[in-house]
Amino acid sequence: MIKLKKISDQKYSEDLHNKNIIFHNYKGQDIIRHFSKIAPKKSGVYQMESKNGEILYIGKAKNLSNRLKNYSSINNLTRRLQRMVGLTKNVNVFVTNTEIEALLLECNLIKRFKPRFNIILRDDKSFPYVIINKQHEIPRVQKYRGPKKLKADYYGPFVSPSIADFTIVSLQKIFLLRSCSDSIFKNRSRPCLLYDIKRCSAPCVNYISKKKYLESLQDSKKFLLGNTKKIEKKLFSMMKEASKNKNFEEAAKLRDRIKSINQIQKYQSVYIKDMRNIDIFAIKAHENKSCVHGMFYRNGSNYGNKSFFPLHEIDANEYEILESFLFQFYEDKEPPPKILINLDNKYFKNVENLLNKKNSNKLTIFNPKSGEKNKHIKLAEKNALENLKIKKNSLDNHIKSMNMIKNFLSLEVIPKRIEVYDNSHTFGNQPVGVMIVVDQEGFNNKNYRKFNIKFKNNGKNISKINDYYMIEEVLDRRLKKINDEGFNNLPDIIIIDGGKGHLNSANKIIKRYKLNSISLLAVAKGVKRNSGREIIHTKNDQIILKPNDELLFFIQRIRDEAHRFAINSHRKRRDKNIKKSIFEEIKGIGPRRKKALINHFGSFQAIKEASFTEISKVKGINNEIANQIYGFFNSH
């Protein structure tokens, strides 16, 4: 080992921060040892950097000096961290006021920079809540994502969005709560279709008094907290009273609401002691990949199950993966009072203490050895292992396909990033270009991009149905931002949905930015546009693969994904524009008829889906206008 020369702290620090010097003679552990001496004994975050400035690892500490000192004892580290220390050539530290601030900063920095030696929770999108929005005097029920800024009661989060949707429909059926926006609510003059299908009590037109609606709302809150028996008993009593008074229609409605409660209890409720509010996590690792399967219960109901596949180095162990996962998972979520795990809980006391401080509540992490809770842990383990096997098989097939395209293009290594481009429009209207990304893990949905075509070309008039121009504009906007934040990944391969002309247009932009290292393909429909007869265009060749070629299947699959994303993006843009312009484009629709349509159907979507007969029943809409409205939507 090469010893560091005895130099002053000032000189050493100046050398380390001189970006023009590479310290081949400094061992990583010696560099870290030096920083441990000059780092403050305060809470904060530290970054290990390589000689090229790459962030290798981000960590938090209650005492930065002591934490960094631990890395200088190389034999006490895991092999993963030993490799990280060996590559370290610089350390940056950020002081925070509290340990909790350090935890939050660490999680945010890991998500932003994705250091190679950290465990990274890739699927970290926010989960939806079901909320009772109290910003109006007649509160509404709705699904909501994001920070808790609204004046509302929050229930969740729901790991499965479908369960959140199911819960909202259940609340509508049982308690007849409104779900419409405030603007629609205040403009109604008659009940909407939700009233007709018995999913709203129509408070917008005073079919229910404010007092009774709020009473029903309070019952819905009790229901969401798991007090279903009391609600069921109350509705049963009301049904008997209605039947006694020979109000059979009302009794039938109450009967249906009771049935809805029973159905929800059958599919969602659990009856295990101490499992009303609890999260269960089981981790399984196999062949350098891992899966954390989560099961989530709130107020005695199952709020969804989900498998997560953290990104980590090959020799990361289950304990450090699960620890990092829990910190990142609960960074923006409130944990329940109890968390069950399938590992020895004594190694998770730091997680427990920090989450308790962060949320100011009592949290316990434990590993049950027997009983019903242990059965749930075993079930979570089984799901983790099965999903890991499925993921592994899928990944093996994907890597095989990536190898095939590598060989096809004579690349030296397997591509890290493939970008596929397509565009969609309706005779030039609302054109949208899209980019999808395929990496070594599969489709990378987070890096998908949409580009609304602007047709700006130095003042020149461009045809609105010029596909070649659209490809040029999209690629120009993408590649000129290659070094900007969020666009710093250079693709190894670009695939265009189109023929030789599309390829030439794309190649023009690649040459403009001198990115000739990018391999370029265009996939054109074959004779008679039949699938399996595609023509693959490269910069120098034109190839037709055999219909049963596995490489062709791979190219078709990613091309079709780009096509799907393009069509959906175009439809959303088109529908948004239609919604704005429908009443201007259809002759004979003025402010009065517009208001009549909205009041009758309750929403734009309901107008769009209505039949000719339903439209013609709207006050002030004759058959001719009804035919125009129906034809407008159904001809697109």
pLDDT digits over 9-20, tens only?
A: 444 444 444 433
CA distance readout (Å), 319 to 290, 339, 347, 604: 11, 15, 8, 51
- State the average pLDDT over residues 175-194: 84
Residue 310: count other Cβ atoms within 10 Å of its Cβ. Answer: 23
Pairwise CA distance, residues 331 & 124, whole Å: 10
407 found inside a domain: no
Number of domains into which the chain is organized:
5
Q: Which residues, including other chains, have CB under 8 Å from residue 603's CB and lie 6 or more apart?
A: 180, 184, 192
189 found inside a domain: yes
Band of residue 114 on the pLDDT scale cut at 50, 70, 90: confident
- State the average pLDDT over residues 270-298: 84
Q: Which of 260-269, 317-326, 568-577 has the lowest mean pLDDT?
A: 260-269
Q: What pLDDT score does 4 carry?
A: 31
| pLDDT mean across residues, the chain | 82
549 found inside a domain: yes
CATH number at residue 74: 3.40.1440.10
Of residues 18 and 172, the one with the higher pLDDT is: 172
Asked if 469 and 564 sit in the same domain, the reply is yes
Residue pLDDT, tens place only, 416-451:
999 999 988 776 677 889 999 999 888 988 889 999
Of residues 193 and 20, the one with the higher pLDDT is: 193
Last residue of a domain, one of 56, 82, 113: 113
Cross-strand bridge partners of residue 266 = none
151 found inside a domain: yes
271 found inside a domain: no
Residue pLDDT, tens place only, 470-483:
899 999 989 887 75
CB 150 within 8 A of CB 113: no
Q: Which residues, including other chains, have CB under 8 Å from residue 516's CB and lie 6 or more apart?
A: 510
Q: Which of 76-90, 370-384, 386-400, 606-620 has the lowest mean pLDDT?
A: 606-620
Q: Indicate whether 469 pLDDT > 80.
A: yes
Entry pTM = 0.73
Domain interval for residue 193: 129-225
259 found inside a domain: no
Last residue of a domain, one of 573, 603, 625: 573
Asked if 565 and 436 sit in the same domain, the reply is yes
- State the average pLDDT over residues 114-131: 83
Q: Indicate whether 144 pLDDT > 60.
A: yes
Q: Which residues, including other chains, have CB under 8 Å from residue 329's CB and lie 6 or more apart?
A: 121, 124, 294, 308
Return the H-helix or E-strand segment holding 585.
Answer: helix 550-585
Percent of the chain with pLDDT over 90: 26
CA distance readout (Å), 461 to 453, 458, 583: 14, 9, 29
Asked if 562 and 426 sit in the same domain, the reply is yes
256 found inside a domain: no
- State the average pLDDT over residues 390-401: 91
CB 498 within 8 A of CB 471: yes
Q: Indicate whether 460 pLDDT > 70.
A: no
- Highest-pLDDT range among 122-136, 221-235, 513-527, 546-560: 546-560
Q: What pLDDT score does 124 carry?
A: 58
Asked if 63 and 151 sit in the same domain, the reply is no
Pairwise CA distance, residues 256 & 619, whole Å: 32
Of residues 216 and 271, the one with the higher pLDDT is: 216
- State the average pLDDT over residues 551-568: 92
